Amino acid sequence: MSATQDWNQLDDAQFSARVAAFVETQCPAALRYLNRRPRWSEVGGWYRALARHGWLAPGWPVAHGGMGLHAARHLLYIEEMERQGAPWMPDSGVRNLGPVLIAHASDAQKNHWLPLILSGTQVWCQGYSEPGAGSDLAGLRTSALVEAGELVISGHKIWTTAAFDATHMFALVRTEPGSERQAGISFVLLEMDQPGIKVRDIRNIAGEVEFCEVFLDRARTSVANIVGPMNDGWRIAKSLLGFERVWAGSPRKALAALWRIEALARQNSSGLAADPAFIERLTQMRFDVQDLQSLYQRFAQLLRQGELGAEVSALKVWATETSQRASEMLVEASGGEGLLEGDALAAFYDARAPSIFSGTNQIQRNLIARNVLNLPGKS
């Protein structure tokens, strides 16, 4: 499979078949259909297999090593990967950092960092949220001072996904002493394996370690690792949050739950297919997921065109709440036996957090009210 092939020229059936065949031949069976997030030690080989064949970055331009998929084809890629049970990966470098570098980094930074992300040489985590600065990200307190051409960073990040496996972090830090809110913030890249950085695990509701706290005590990185101008990080952060909200709006989780519900309904022993009330709700769920797919495709296209605005918050709200409704229906359809096996509960737990991260859904509704509907704020 050539990394330079124009995947958009295949018809949908051909493309889906290629994705399915790729997963079947390249992804180890033990990694497929997991109900947990695996560690890098488990999925690093799969990450590198995707990279070798040019399949790792579906949304990146071909010129930067991506597949260059248009929005509809990108959605089909996500759906087929989910259908084939491809595992989650710590891919924040591909999903979040890569598009930011492509849009905002210098040529030297792109030439250095993008190949390292694609090769799997580096595993990235995101240093945004802090205690007291989650949805209100502009309240961050992690600061950096310039000393002899380096940034010396001290502070505390939290809810950092997969930081225990990360080799690098992209982070927002305050580089202008005394600045407030959005002013004086820079977007920086730094190594995790250095003195002054300590990672502490956070166990989630399912009892698994997924998030971390990261403590920085005079950690260092070169000023050359600031993306964009110093103190202009908020502008870059907003673009990343736009990318992140599109990814948070992926129909992947809702689709996976829907497929499992439909499989349960097809089992004669379940009796679900003979329950008119259940079939009515299942039909509505199918419509909800189809609406989500259509909305996702629209915003993915706007993202490609550089026209993404505040209205992307609507995608994040619809996707996360549709996924939650689907997970609740899956728990109900699974019955006692399904719950004992744990798969339905794992999906239920996994659907809770996305409505909180990347800005809570309450915050997203406020953004829509203020920036899209132009509604007045509190007097």
Listed residue (88, 147, 358) closest to 248, CA to CA: 358
Point out the catalytic residue in the list 79, 150, 244, 332. 244
Listed residue (1, 116, 101) closest to 47, CA to CA: 116
How far apart are the C-alpha atoms of 316 and 244, rounded to whole Å? 9
Strands 150-157 and 124-127, bridge-based pairing: unpaired
Cβ–Cβ under 8 Å, residues 108 and 119 = no
Cβ–Cβ under 8 Å, residues 300 and 75 = yes
Cβ–Cβ under 8 Å, residues 247 and 303 = no
Residue 244 designated active-site: yes
How far apart are the C-alpha atoms of 349 and 210, rounded to whole Å? 12
Number of H helices and E strands in the chain, helices first, is 12, 8
C-alpha angle 353/354/359, rounded to 5°? 105
Cβ–Cβ under 8 Å, residues 156 and 130 = yes
The secondary structure of residue 9, as a DSSP letter, is: G
Structure tokens at 171: 């982070």
C-alpha distances in Å from residue 288, one per residue of 254, 257, 364: 9, 13, 19
Cβ–Cβ under 8 Å, residues 161 and 92 = yes
How far apart are the C-alpha atoms of 9 and 57, rounded to whole Å? 18
Say how many C-beta atoms besides its own lie within 10 A of residue 206's C-beta.
Answer: 16
In this structure, what is the dihedral angle of CA atoms 317, 228, 159, 92, given to the nearest 10 degrees? 80
Just list the catalytic residues.
244
